[in-house]
Amino acid sequence: MARLAGIELTPIGEVESPLTDRTSAPKQGDEGAPDAWLVFDPAVLEGLDGMRPGDRIIVLTWLDRAERDVLRVHPRDDLSVPKQGVFNTRSSDRPNPIGLHEVEVLSIEGNRLRVNNLEALDGTPIVDVKPALRRTEARKSRA
């Protein structure tokens, strides 16, 4: 595995959210997570060209409060369930704690995107945003 050298990510923005505490945050966005702002670095603003309210997007975050040296966890922190490999769970504790969040764009104000149902904590770095893809046909007509 010759290529296994370190890789440097550059955050492109950060989450602004009422969620500040990992223990009380929902585990997934569809479990009661609040609306939040995605605040982008002005240097990448051009990358948002063409985005519109109503679009469904996948936000990739760096879960900076996760533990990276964990390989087995109790799924959903439920101690009654036997431990499983982290790659078989959505635990934020994992070697590279990248969060995936599918949300809807509610509004766009300059470098700020308002989105719904985001379970990421306030201050979480954003590393990428992609359109959510549903079907090949929809993809071809859209982009």
Q: Report which DSSP code applies to 31.
A: T
Q: Tell me if 131 contacts a second copy by CB under 8 A.
A: yes
Q: Tell me if 3 contacts a second copy by CB under 8 A.
A: yes
* Distance from the Cα of residue 49 to its chain's centroid: 20
Q: Tell me if 134 contacts a second copy by CB under 8 A.
A: no
Q: Taking a C-beta distance cutoff of 8 angstroms, is the pair 76, 38 a contact?
A: no
Q: Tell me if 106 contacts a second copy by CB under 8 A.
A: no
Six token digits for residue 97: 């704690």
Which of 21, 23, 24, 50: binder of a second copy (CB under 8 A)? 50
Q: How far is the CB of 24 from a second copy (least distance, A)?
A: 19
Task: Report the DSSP beta bridge partners of residue 16.
Answer: 37
Q: Collapsing DSSP states into helix, strand and coil, what is residue 58?
A: strand
Number of residues that bind a second copy (CB under 8 A): 61
User: By CB neighbour count within 10 A (0-12 exposed, 13-18 middle, 19+ buried), where does 48 fall?
Assistant: middle
Q: Collapsing DSSP states into helix, strand and coil, what is residue 1?
A: coil
Q: Tell me if 143 contacts a second copy by CB under 8 A.
A: yes
Q: Tell me if 122 contacts a second copy by CB under 8 A.
A: no
* Residues in touch with a second copy (CB under 8 A): 1, 3-14, 28, 30-31, 39, 41, 44, 46-51, 55, 57-58, 60, 62, 64, 71-72, 75-76, 81, 83-90, 94-96, 98, 100, 123, 125, 127-131, 133, 136, 139-140, 143
